[in-house]
């Protein structure tokens, strides 16, 4: 029998949580009700708020500031759910505070484990709650203030949905091929497409759009053990991190490479550009720079010699922390479709600064190597070198 973790604030949503538990059981699963509320529960629970709080500090429940208590309970629930292994799916409900607590714990769980939230906030911008995970959200339509004819239907649907998801996750076919994460941008698509063609016979190739969320999603999968290697062709998100673009993947970009020690082949794809929105959104201090309107909603800014040098130093410092097998390949004839002779971003001096700072900064040894190749990033020979390099360190 599948087990569903039901989570919510039992001090304010007791009636709804109790109803959910009944519906999950009627749908054919075992239910464990976890209370993440601050006050006294209004229904019986299987895991008390005190048991959750103990994963951080029991004093969470003693403070008078509810906002602080909710934030701290979210931290505690994240730690609790990471240590609680006996469940096949998780179902939460909440208003503002409850949704924040429940989804914080869900975001720490592996991608693929069914996660569903019924929330009063689900019809708005839910990026803050979902982030780069696979949390599904259902609008509650009415507020959680006791059961009514609408909430009963929605909660019953959610209960049956999560039980179905739990069963489906157990019966899904097993992927026999090792999996590889790859990063791609429009200006590196020819390269990545060729790499996929060469590796897909032996590997399950998961391609991520290097838009900030893409890089973070890929590294989350690496951290959770669901990737067996990375072919990180397009590291452009680092430009946006360092120079205030809109597609940053954050300071932890490449962090999962060091933590997981999985085979890593990287390159300098699209490090010639910082991303902004429409032309009128480009910061004032950048208006005099070399700008390229990729489309009406996206404006690209060419990175300078000094910026390229800083990018190379940043990447080298990150890769120096990696104990797993690392190969970093440099295409000396250009890093994107725009960085080609006659192209909008062709700048050999800036590229040279990038390449030289990488080579000087990377501490090379028998497991960590840098290779400079006389090709453009989108040349077939460069794609072949990336694929061959991965095969060599993955075997």
Give backbone dihedrals phi and psi of 226, rounded to 5 degrees, phi first.
-100, 5
Q: Which two tokens stand for residue 117?
A: 């939230």
The H-or-E segment that residue 108 falls in is none
d(CA 213, CA 249): 6
Q: How far is CA 101 from CA 7, 24, 39, 175, 271, in A?
A: 9, 21, 15, 33, 37
Distance CA 294, CA 5 (A): 46
Which of 16-20, 62-66, 115-119 is least confident? 62-66
- Please report the DSSP string for 67-106 in residue order: HHHHHHHHHHHHHHHHH----SEEEEEESHHHHHHHHHHH
Residue 109 clears pLDDT 60, i.e. is over it = yes
pLDDT at residue 169 is higher than 70: no
How confident is the model over 331-348, as pLDDT tens digits? 999 999 999 999 999 999
Under a CB-based contact definition with an 8 Å cutoff, are residues 363 and 321 in contact? no
* Banded pLDDT at 175 (limits 50, 70, 90): low
Burial of 297 (0-12, 13-18, 19+ CB in 10 A): exposed
- CB-count burial class (<10 Å; 0-12, 13-18, 19+) for 253: buried
Contact 37/11 with Cβ under 8 angstroms?
A: yes
Give the pLDDT confidence of 263-319 residue by residue, as tens digits.
Answer: 999 999 999 999 999 999 999 999 999 999 999 999 999 999 999 999 999 999 999
CATH topology of domain 179-394: Rossmann fold (3.40.50)
Confidence class for position 134, pLDDT limits 50, 70, 90: very high
Task: Please report the pLDDT score of residue 67 as a whole number.
Answer: 80
Residue 60's pLDDT band, with cuts at 50, 70 and 90, is confident
Q: Report d(CA 39, CA 133) in Å as an integer.
A: 29
Mean pLDDT of 239-255: 97
Average pLDDT over residues 122-149: 93
pLDDT above 70: residue 172: no
What pTM was computed for the model?
0.83
In the predicted model, what is the mean pLDDT of the chain? 94
Sorted by sequence, the CB contacts under 8 Å of residue 181 that are 6+ apart come out as: 206, 208, 218, 219, 221, 222, 227, 229, 230, 231, 232
Least confident range from 120-134, 140-154, 170-184, 211-225: namely 170-184
Instruction: Report residue 355: phi and psi, to 5°.
Output: -65, -45
Res. 171 pLDDT band, cuts 50 70 90: very low
Domains 3-171 and 179-394 share a fold: yes
CATH of domain 3-171: 3.40.50.12020
User: What is the secondary structure of 115-179 as a DSSP string?
Assistant: EEEEETTTTS--HHHHTTS--EEEE-SS-SSS--HHHHHHHHHHHHHHHHHHHHHHHSPPP-S-E
Percent of the chain at pLDDT > 70 equals 98
Report the interhelical angle of 66-83 vs 96-107 (nearest 10°): 30
Q: Where are the domains of the chain?
A: 3-171, 179-394
Q: Is the pLDDT of residue 252 over 90?
A: yes
Q: Quote the percentage of the chain above a pLDDT of 90.
A: 88
């Amino acid at each position: 029998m599948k087990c569903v973790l039901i989570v919510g604030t039992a001090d304010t949503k007791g009636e709804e949580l109790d109803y959910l538990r009944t519906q999950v059981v009627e749908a054919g699963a075992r239910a464990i009700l976890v209370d993440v509320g601050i006050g006294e529960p209004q229904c019986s629970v299987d895991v008390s708020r005190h048991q959750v709080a103990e994963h951080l500090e029991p004093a969470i429940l003693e403070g008078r500031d509810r906002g602080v208590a909710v934030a701290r309970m979210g931290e505690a629930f994240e730690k609790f759910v990471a240590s609680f292994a006996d469940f096949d799916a998780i179902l939460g409900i909440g208003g503002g505070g409850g949704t924040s607590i429940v989804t914080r714990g869900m975001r720490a769980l592996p991608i693929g484990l069914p996660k569903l939230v019924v929330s009063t906030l689900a019809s708005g911008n839910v990026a803050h709650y979902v982030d780069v995970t696979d949390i599904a959200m259902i609008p509650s339509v009415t507020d959680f203030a006791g059961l009514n004819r609408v909430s009963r239907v929605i909660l019953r649907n959610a209960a049956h949905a999560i039980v179905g998801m739990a069963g489906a996750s157990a019966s899904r076919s097993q992927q026999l091929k090792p999996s590889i994460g790859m990063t791609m941008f429009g200006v590196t698509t020819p390269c990545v497409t060729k790499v996929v063609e060469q590796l897909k016979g032996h590997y399950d190739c998961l391609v991520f759009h290097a838009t900030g969320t893409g890089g973070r999603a890929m590294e989350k999968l690496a951290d959770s053990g669901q990737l067996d290697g990375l072919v990180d062709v397009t590291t452009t998100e680092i430009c946006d991190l360092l120079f205030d673009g809109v597609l940053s993947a954050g300071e932890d970009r490449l962090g999962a490479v060091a933590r997981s020690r999985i085979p890593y082949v990287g390159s300098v794809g699209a490090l010639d550009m910082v991303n902004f929105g429409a032309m009128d959104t480009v910061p004032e201090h950048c208006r005099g720079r070399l700008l390229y309107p990729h489309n009406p909603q996206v404006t690209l800014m060419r990175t300078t010699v000094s910026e390229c040098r800083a990018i190379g130093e940043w990447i080298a410092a990150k890769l120096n922390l990696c104990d797993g097998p690392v190969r970093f390949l440099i295409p000396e004839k250009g890093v994107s479709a725009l960085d080609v002779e006659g192209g909008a971003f062709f700048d050999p001096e800036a590229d040279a600064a990038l390449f030289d700072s990488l080579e000087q900064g990377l501490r090379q040894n028998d497991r960590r190597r840098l290779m400079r190749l006389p090709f453009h990033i989108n040349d077939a020979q460069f794609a072949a070198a990336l694929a061959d390099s991965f095969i060599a360190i993955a075997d």
